[in-house]
């Protein structure tokens, strides 16, 4: 579960089927949504869309969601404050609050028409891409500054 952070797959690990842990049971398809069921307030969910032809599996610590609606729209809907609050209200546990798939399944989301879903999803995805680019530049600048400071005060 530590492999996803803010919607980005940070780490991949190659495993043989015979050696896979019992929690690695979710076989993924493009447009699947992985919803973090443990500590869902962290919003470390993933919209799965890989161009390579490898088989991917995910931990049972995620709910695997497939929809007939626009999957990107649903993905963004799962990050709204209202939805996360509905999830947290159904969680059990204090240190590691978690929701089970059945309780998650019972939370209602309103969907506009498919064409509106597409427009909204495209806009929000575009904003996400811009934020990702900005964050990458910020990290580069932080490393540059750190390097300058190390050379200045040696």
Residue stretches of the chain with pLDDT short of 70: 1-2, 17, 22-25
Element (H, E) at 64: strand 62-65
DSSP 124-149: HHHHHHHHHHHHHHHHHHHHHHHHHH
Digit-coded pLDDT (tens) for 70-83: 999 999 999 999 99
Which pLDDT does position 104 carry in this prediction? 94
Torsion of CA 69, 45, 103, 82, to 10 degrees: -80
Contact 78, 45 (CB under 8 A): yes
Look at residue 25 in the predicted model and tell me its pLDDT. 67
Q: Are 31 and 48 in contact (CB under 8 A)?
A: yes
Q: What is the pLDDT of residue 54?
A: 81
**Widest CA span of the chain, in angstroms?**
61
Radius of gyration (C-alpha) of the chain in whole angstroms: 18
Q: Hey, which residues does 59 pair with through a beta bridge?
A: 24
Domain boundaries, given as residue ranges, for the chain: 4-108
Tokens of 81: 């404050």
Which one is the CATH code of 4-108: 3.40.605.10, 1.25.40.10, 3.90.220.20, 3.40.190.10? 3.90.220.20
């Amino acid at each position: 579960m530590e492999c996803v952070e803010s919607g980005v797959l940070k780490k991949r690990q190659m495993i043989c089927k015979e050696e896979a842990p019992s929690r690695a049971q979710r076989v993924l398809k493009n447009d699947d949504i992985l919803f973090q069921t443990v500590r869902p307030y962290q919003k470390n969910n993933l919209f799965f869309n890989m161009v390579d032809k490898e088989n991917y599996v995910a931990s049972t610590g995620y709910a695997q969601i497939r929809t007939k609606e626009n999957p990107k729209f649903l993905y963004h809907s799962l990050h709204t404050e209202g939805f996360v609050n509905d999830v947290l209200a159904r969680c059990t546990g204090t240190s590691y609050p978690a929701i089970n798939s059945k309780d998650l399944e019972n939370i209602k989301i309103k969907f506009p028409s498919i064409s509106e879903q597409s427009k909204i999803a495209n806009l929000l995805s575009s904003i996400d891409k811009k934020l990702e680019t900005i964050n990458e530049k910020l990290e580069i600048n932080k490393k540059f500054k750190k390097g300058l400071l190390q050379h200045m005060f040696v």
